[in-house]
Amino acid sequence: MTNAPPITRLADITAYAEAVQLAVDSSAAYYADGTSTLDDDAYDRLVRGIQAYEEAHPEQVLPSSPTGKVAGGAVVGDVPHTIAMLSLDNVFGPEQLADWAASLERRLGRPVTAWSVEPKLDGLAISARYRGGRLAQLVTRGDGTAGEDVSHAIGTIVGLPARLAEPVTVEVRGEVMMTTSQFEEACAKRTAHDGTTFANPRSAAAGTLRAQDRPYVCELTFFGYGALPAPEDDSEPAVSLRELPHSQIMEWAARQGVQTTAATPVAGIVTDTLERVQERVGEIAAARATLPFGIDGIVIKCDLAADQARAGFSSRAPRWAVAFKLPPVEKVTRLLAVEWNTGRTGVIAPRAVLEPVELDGSIVTYATLHNVADITRRGLMLGDSVVVYKAGDVIPRVESPVVHLRTGEEQPIAIPQVCPSCGDAIDTSQERWRCVRGRQCRAIASIVYAVGRDQLDIEGLAENRIKQLLDAGLIADFADLFFLTREQLLGLERMGETSTDNLLAAIERARTRPLSRVFAALGVRGTGRSMSRRIARHFATMEAIRAADAEAIQQVEGIGPEKAPVVVSELIEIGPLIDKLVKAGVNMTEPGATGPTATTAEPSSELPLAGMSVVVTGAMTGPLEPLSRNEMNELVERAGGKSSSSVSARTSLLVAGEKAGSKRAKAESLGVRIVTPEEFAELVAALL
């Protein structure tokens, strides 16, 4: 929920003319088969730049300009629409939405008493024509007045029934798209056929909808967003929809068997206040990252037919509806290089080096590629134009190459033959390649992580000191730290009596850390600090964790059938390290936890944060000032809550410290309860 993104500035009439041609060409490709030289955000900025230039130089406006035209004026169809299929005007933030609503109410001469709020689906608008209840024709939006007949796609679109529940003659309008799973299946089919892939779900849906001669069939999904009465025809029954509110029309469509968003987390609502409209916008935006289909905004419209009729239409859009656009979560940029890094557990991971691109409010220069198999599946090459996406707090990821933008100068990505860290062999038996030396390959990194503040918190052990201990042969892993003697440390360079005693005292304190910290220090693949806390609380002892099989591990929240066997095998692999820690007397229990079979555990409902999802942001003050973010999350979970890093409609409480920033703004828009660090300290005082 940000203000409008920057526009493309056009210096003179030459730049303006070039921009118009680029916009028209891009729009034509976009609506034809989903290909385009511009991503959605770049296109929007370009068109706003064209519009700004035309407002300043009205005498220079070109007839081919995309402004004021449906689909940018680039699409022509041969099947006339009974009623024009128009575009929507856009707003980019709460202030612009409020201004639009005020302007609409001035036009109506009265307040809007019923607002409809629903997601703006990221697909292709289509008209489905039913005669006597039978699906007879599919027509694309085209230029708004006429579209293309794509009736050959009947039978391949989920959510668009071949017959309605009633034998009515009606036109259902909605969005055709690919869900995440449908997109993955379509990419697999295309790769198997010709070795290429689709750039994104929207382009895949566009190409699939129009394809008639492919040797494979890709499934699509339809979500209805409206229904119109058919032209009067006495020979066929017609349904009366003209005077119904939009929300009742959608209810009718759902009863006919047409899929709508009603059963999704972003179902449409009706409200009588703009405040609730703004809240719902925030709720839908927060759910975006978790949806199995793409949305790029929220549609706000007058629900009542009388208000719609009174407001009327412009040349390209209804005046009674607007799209609240969300920041783009994907962009197109160039893949410049691939870096190969060995992690602290020995896993070899590729990282994409990108031409810098602004994505979801930040500049992205790197993105994950996961593994060699991932690169191969996506058919990536150096120099490719690639789709990069980021949803919510997810790390940027390269989705796919934009094949139609290839120039022929792209080069294969070089795959390492030996470990990029130590030069030893690579174990390629699993999808995630590992150095054959495992954790020993990056012993320094592994130990640095283990002794960090959020794990064992051993002060005085900087990376150079750890390297000194390794070079001297005094340690091979972090468990060896607990066997160091005063004499050994005094024998090292730059280790006097005071620094030696301080380090030994810090190591002694680390011996008493809770099991969750010790487990985190182990660096088990597939777990992090938060998951380590969940595992420790669930099993209570290291002995119970090591005795658990994959089925038992799956009982921990957040561990699924794929991750559980990895955790089990990791625990077996690092068994000698754990044995060494036990021998050293390191604590192997979690305070307050009683294990999965206990019957005397304190009821979670008695804890102050029982059942609550809590997000901590900003700098803590007061009694909480000394706590790190991880320690704050530990406190939340000891109090019965679940710590989270992002604000959503499911967030129960936000602890907002100094400079809370965007998370506080999102919480306010969603109506999430917000407390100061001092108020939170009072809430959990018994646990401090």
pLDDT interval class at 29 (50, 70, 90): low
Residue 480 and residue 616 share a domain? no
Q: How far apart are CA 508 and CA 495, in angstroms?
A: 18
Q: Between residues 229 and 70, which one has the greater pLDDT?
A: 229
Pairing of strands 673-675, 653-656: parallel
Q: What would the mean pLDDT of 668-679 be, rounded to a whole number?
A: 89
Residue 396 and residue 294 share a domain? no
Name the CA dihedral angle for 289, 292, 293, 298, rounded to a multiple of 10 degrees. Answer: -50
Name the CA dihedral angle for 376, 377, 381, 383, rounded to a multiple of 10 degrees. Answer: -140
What are the pLDDT digits (tens) for 271-328? 999 999 999 998 998 888 788 898 989 999 999 999 999 999 987 789 999 999 887 7
Residue 104 and residue 46 share a domain? no
Residue 165 and residue 133 share a domain? yes
CATH of the domain at 291: 3.30.470.30
pTM, two decimals, is: 0.56
Return the closest-CA partner of residue 406 out of 375, 380, 377. Answer: 380
Q: How far apart are CA 671 and CA 246, in angstroms?
A: 26
Using an 8 Å Cβ cutoff, are 71 and 142 in contact?
yes
What pLDDT is recorded for position 588? 95
pLDDT interval class at 391 (50, 70, 90): low
Residue 666 lies in domain: 604-687
How would you class 526 by CB atoms within 10 Å of its CB: exposed for 0-12, middle for 13-18, buried for 19 or more? middle
CB atoms near residue 431 (< 10 Å):
10
Residue 348 and residue 263 share a domain? no
Residue 106 and residue 66 share a domain? no
For the chain, helix (H) and strand (E) counts, in that order, are 22, 23
What pLDDT is recorded for position 603? 42
- Number of domains, the chain: 6
Q: Is residue 4 a part of any domain in this protein?
A: no
Q: Would you say residue 512 has pLDDT above 60?
A: yes
Return the closest-CA partner of residue 614 out of 675, 666, 556. Answer: 675
Q: How far apart are CA 124 and CA 153, in angstroms?
A: 13
What pLDDT is recorded for position 601? 42
Q: Is residue 2 a part of any domain in this protein?
A: no
Last residue of a domain, one of 554, 583, 612: 583
The backbone torsions φ and ψ at residue 157, rounded to the nearest 5 degrees and listed phi first, read -115, 110
Residue 636 and residue 547 share a domain? no
Q: Is residue 430 a part of any domain in this protein?
A: no
**What proportion of the chain, given as a percentage, has pLDDT over 70?**
91
Residue 108 and residue 244 share a domain? yes
What pLDDT is recorded for position 688? 75
Q: Is residue 91 a part of any domain in this protein?
A: yes
Q: Give the chain's mean pLDDT.
A: 86
How would you class 623 by CB atoms within 10 Å of its CB: exposed for 0-12, middle for 13-18, buried for 19 or more? middle
CATH of the domain at 563: 1.10.150.20
Residue 253 and residue 116 share a domain? yes
Last residue of a domain, one of 22, 52, 74: 74
Q: What would the mean pLDDT of 587-610 be, rounded to a whole number?
A: 70
Question: Looking at residue 233, what DSSP letter applies?
Answer: -
Three-state DSSP class for residue 467: helix
What are 433's two structure tokens?
Answer: 């390649």
Q: Between residues 19 and 512, which one has the greater pLDDT?
A: 512
Q: Where are the alpha helices (DSSP H) in 342-462?
A: 372-378, 443-450
**What proportion of the chain, given as a percentage, has pLDDT over 90?**
46
CA distances from 151 to 138, 204, 542, 591 (A): 5, 18, 62, 65
Least confident of 48-52, 234-238, 529-533, 622-626: 234-238
Residue 520 and residue 506 share a domain? no
- Chain-centre distance for alpha carbon 164: 35
CA distances from 489 to 385, 442, 448, 485, 504 (A): 54, 23, 18, 7, 9
Three-state DSSP class for residue 336: strand
What pLDDT is recorded for position 318? 93
CATH of the domain at 393: 2.40.50.140
**Amino acid present at 477:** D
CATH of the domain at 24: 1.10.287
How would you class 444 by CB atoms within 10 Å of its CB: exposed for 0-12, middle for 13-18, buried for 19 or more? middle
Q: What would the mean pLDDT of 49-64 be, rounded to a whole number?
A: 84
What pLDDT is recorded for position 234? 46
Residue 577 and residue 473 share a domain? no
Return the closest-CA partner of residue 451 out of 484, 486, 487. Answer: 484
Q: Would you say residue 495 has pLDDT above 50?
A: yes
Q: Would you say residue 35 has pLDDT above 80?
A: no
Question: Looking at residue 561, what DSSP letter applies?
Answer: T
What pLDDT is recorded for position 77? 65
Q: Would you say residue 58 has pLDDT above 70?
A: yes
What pLDDT is recorded for position 360? 64
Q: Would you say residue 681 has pLDDT above 90?
A: yes
Q: What would the mean pLDDT of 390-395 be, rounded to a whole number?
A: 59
Q: Is residue 473 a part of any domain in this protein?
A: yes
CATH of the domain at 624: 3.40.50.10190
Q: Between residues 47 and 627, which one has the greater pLDDT?
A: 627
What are 335's two structure tokens?
Answer: 């893949």
Question: Looking at residue 326, what DSSP letter applies?
Answer: P
Return the closest-CA partner of residue 609 out of 629, 645, 633. Answer: 633
Residue 117 and residue 34 share a domain? no
Catalytic choice (120, 563, 663, 666): 120
Three-state DSSP class for residue 638: helix
Q: Is residue 425 a part of any domain in this protein?
A: no
Q: Between residues 610 and 606, which one has the greater pLDDT?
A: 610
Name the packing angle between helices 443-450 and 515-522 (round to 10°): 160
Q: Residue 120 catalytic?
A: yes
Residue 558 contacts by C-beta under 8 Å, 6 or more apart in sequence?
531, 534
Q: Between residues 69 and 372, which one has the greater pLDDT?
A: 372
What are 447's two structure tokens?
Answer: 């130990």
What pLDDT is recorded for position 529? 85
Beta-ladder partners of 302: 115
Q: Would you say residue 233 has pLDDT above 60?
A: no
Pairing of strands 362-368, 348-359: antiparallel
Residue 204 contacts by C-beta under 8 Å, 6 or more apart in sequence?
34, 178, 183, 186, 187, 198, 218
Q: How far apart are CA 500 and CA 641, in angstroms?
A: 40
What pLDDT is recorded for position 1? 42
Q: What would the mean pLDDT of 233-261 be, rounded to a whole number?
A: 81
Last residue of a domain, one of 366, 396, 413: 413
Q: Would you say residue 2 has pLDDT above 90?
A: no
What are the pLDDT digits (tens) for 450-460? 999 889 999 98
Q: Which residues of 363-385 are buried (b: 16+ CB within 10 A; e: fewer)?
A: ebeebebbbbebbebbbbbbbbb
Q: Would you say residue 235 has pLDDT above 50?
A: no
Q: Where are the alpha helices (DSSP H) in 351-510?
A: 372-378, 443-450, 463-471, 486-490, 497-510
Q: Is residue 432 a part of any domain in this protein?
A: no
Residue 35 contacts by C-beta under 8 Å, 6 or more apart in sequence?
29, 199, 203, 207, 402, 404
What pLDDT is recorded for position 33? 55
What are the pLDDT digits (tens) for 138-169? 999 888 888 889 999 999 999 999 999 999 99
Instruction: Among 405-409, 455-459, 605-609, name the most confident range.
Output: 455-459
Q: How far apart are CA 583 and CA 164, in angstroms?
A: 71
What are the pLDDT digits (tens) for 102-148? 999 999 999 999 999 999 998 899 999 999 899 999 999 888 888 88
Least confident of 18-32, 346-360, 514-528, 529-543: 18-32
Q: How far apart are CA 5 and CA 121, in angstroms?
A: 20
